[in-house]
Amino acid sequence: MRNRLALFDSGIGGFSVLKSICSRHSNFSAIYLADTARLPYGSRCKSEIREIALEISEWLNCQKIDAVIVACNTTNSLALDVVQKTLDVPVFDLIGSAIDLIRTSRIGVLATPSTVSSTTYTSYIKTINPLAFVIEEGCSGLVPLIEKRKLNSLQIKEIAANHLKNLLKEEVQEIVLGCSHFPLIKPIINELIPYNINLIDPATALSKRLDEFLGHSPSDLELIPSFPDIQFCVTSDPIRFTSATKQLLGINPKVELISLRSKSCVL
């Protein structure tokens, strides 16, 4: 029997995590939940994020799942314990995984304002290197534009450049993409930073952390991602989401509109 993973995010950000997992593993099925009704999460306060995380976890408790992937850094930074306490399956997170990829001691983190205010990235990085210099840059403008899928727009370039400037002037050697939406604009970010700065996508490490759980040893060659058996659920606007799956994943699934409060089972 294949394991069934549950991934959740506020919107399409978790696609970057799904892609990364599917580039390494193929022996799983999944349910992907996007809480599109409450997007963006990144400027919400801690209590709201924790309340939402509880609702999502309780809903996931009604699904047939074997593990949860928190594909949202904002939830990860402010409410990982809520998810862990509510669900009795293994929980894989992006921030905990990111530290597997840190190689230098001057690290910039580009994330949502709520993630930055939690300073969770700094705390995790300091556990592996107490002397590391970590600067976190909060960025609220990118997520709504990425959700509109204008991934190459001038506006995205300008906003990204503005925020990256604050990290570059601190001479960081690595930049962590601390919001799962940001790997979707990785080509733009790469153009805006010097070639010798390493961009870290925590989903790469998370995918590796799944090796043991998914019970096989993948080759280090990346698979061409295919998305065979994935159920997509949203809390609003399934039509817009279907067009996002077409554009970004190249698939045309049936997207279900669900109510998190109803806790009705989607099996």
Residues at the contact surface with ligand DGL, assessed by CB under 6 A = 9-10, 13, 39-42, 72-74, 112, 115, 143, 179-181
Q: For the chain, how many residues are written?
A: 267
C-beta closer to ligand DGL: residue 40 or 108: 40
Please state whether the peptide bond connecting residue 40 to the residue before it is cis, i.e. omega within 30 degrees of 0: yes
- To ligand DGL, the closest distance from the beta carbon of 164 in angstroms equals 17
Q: Can you point out the beta strands (E) in 47-124?
A: 67-70, 91-93, 106-111
**DSSP structure class, residue 151:** T
The CA distance from 214 to 168, in Å, is 38
- Nearest partner of 115 among 41, 56, 184, 172, judged by Cα: 41
C-beta closer to ligand DGL: residue 3 or 42: 42
Amino acid at 53: A
Angle between helices 238-249 and 14-24 (to 10 degrees): 40
- Told to judge if 45 belongs to the known catalytic residues of this protein, a careful annotator would answer no
- To ligand DGL, the closest distance from the beta carbon of 114 in angstroms equals 8
Catalytic residue among 45, 62, 139, 179: 179
Cα distances (Å, whole numbers) of residue 61 to 83, 85, 173, 188: 10, 11, 41, 38
Give every CB contact of residue 105 below 8 A, 6+ residues apart in sequence. Answer: 129, 131, 132, 133, 173
Residue corresponding to tokens 């993948």? 218
C-beta closer to ligand DGL: residue 3 or 147: 147
The CA distance from 26 to 64, in Å, is 19
C-beta closer to ligand DGL: residue 105 or 140: 140
C-beta closer to ligand DGL: residue 2 or 149: 149
- To ligand DGL, the closest distance from the beta carbon of 197 in angstroms equals 21
Catalytic residue among 72, 139, 233, 265: 72
- Told to judge if 72 belongs to the known catalytic residues of this protein, a careful annotator would answer yes
- To ligand DGL, the closest distance from the beta carbon of 215 in angstroms equals 27
- To ligand DGL, the closest distance from the beta carbon of 115 in angstroms equals 6
Q: Hey, which residues are catalytic here?
A: 72, 179
